[in-house]
Amino acid sequence: MSDHARTSPATAVRPPVLRPGDTVMLVSPSGPTRPERVARGVELLTGWGLRPVLAPNAYARQGYLAGADELRAADLNTAFADPEVRGVICTRGGYGAQRVVDAIDMAAVRRDPKVVAGFSDITALQFALWRGARLAGVHGPGAAWSPERTPLRSAESLHAALMTTEPVTVSAVAEEETFAVRVPGRATGPLLGGNLCLVVASLGTPDMPDLTGAILLVEDVQEPPYKVDRMLTQLRRAGALDGLAGVAVGQFTDCADGWSVGVADVLSERLGDLGVPVLGGLPIGHGPGQLSVPIGTEATLDTRTATLEVSPAVR
């Protein structure tokens, strides 16, 4: 089967659920992280009974990168190859994952699948793991924990996605700016996507998934409405949205500028005529109260109940 062949949810590889006592490695594939925030994440994971260990280069720095490409790739491959490590949790996003994904030892990933959690720039890593190993993952907060943005409900959501095999249901929230973005209907298909910038940056690369029959998840931060328009227009012109089953719209945080057209207006216009159900207002992304969702597994989007239900990423 080619990398771009359409895949059914049954082809998703679900790694084993994390259990108390399991070791999880904290890696920084993208931007440099802050030790004091990682310390909070370590405390949280330890409280769940997990054994978090830092990758050798987790605190490395090279400008806007968490160390040289070779170091970041080596940490990922160390995590994937170590049989003691049962989960891989990225510290944060930022930028840089795209620079190292071609160096991942996919044979090691396929040999011993492990749950990988992260979001933002980590969308590039999730796409690569989907292409190379059909690995389902978790789109959720990183280990550089910020209690102000990710309160108890965010922690509980990440715990459920990593350490239980229950489906994950996320309900649209009226307080979210994208709540009004809606096209009625119900759609089922694998949930793919994540950060809109990284989805667009994957166009033309081997990692861009075929979205035929899929529900596309999009969210972003600090992108003015005209840039969101530009990105969605590029996806449309590239044919990437042809055959979509539906669109799940997460948080578009700090995306306002001085124009009268807001980001919800742009999302409604650019997604509203695709002929598929669209559900906005989902607290998934960079905003307060961010929730976790599995990526790569079967999902059902229902605008009547204003919910996105996703099969677990773990088994």
Segment 233-236 long-range contacts (CB within 8 Å, at least 24 positions apart) = 233/270, 234/200, 234/203, 235/199, 235/200, 235/203, 236/270
> Is 120 among the catalytic positions?
yes
- The beta strand positions in the chain, using DSSP E, are 23-27, 51-54, 85-90, 115-118, 137-139, 168-171, 182-183, 186-195, 215-221, 246-253, 278-279, 293-295, 298-302, 307-310
Choose, from 30, 177, 202, 219, the residue flagged as catalytic: 219
> Is 219 among the catalytic positions?
yes
> Is 4 among the catalytic positions?
no
Please state whether beta strands 293-295 and 246-253 pair in parallel, antiparallel, or not at all (unpaired).
unpaired
Choose, from 28, 30, 120, 268, the residue flagged as catalytic: 120
d(CA 27, CA 46): 16
Choose, from 154, 268, 286, 311, the residue flagged as catalytic: 286
Residues serving a catalytic function are 120, 219, 286
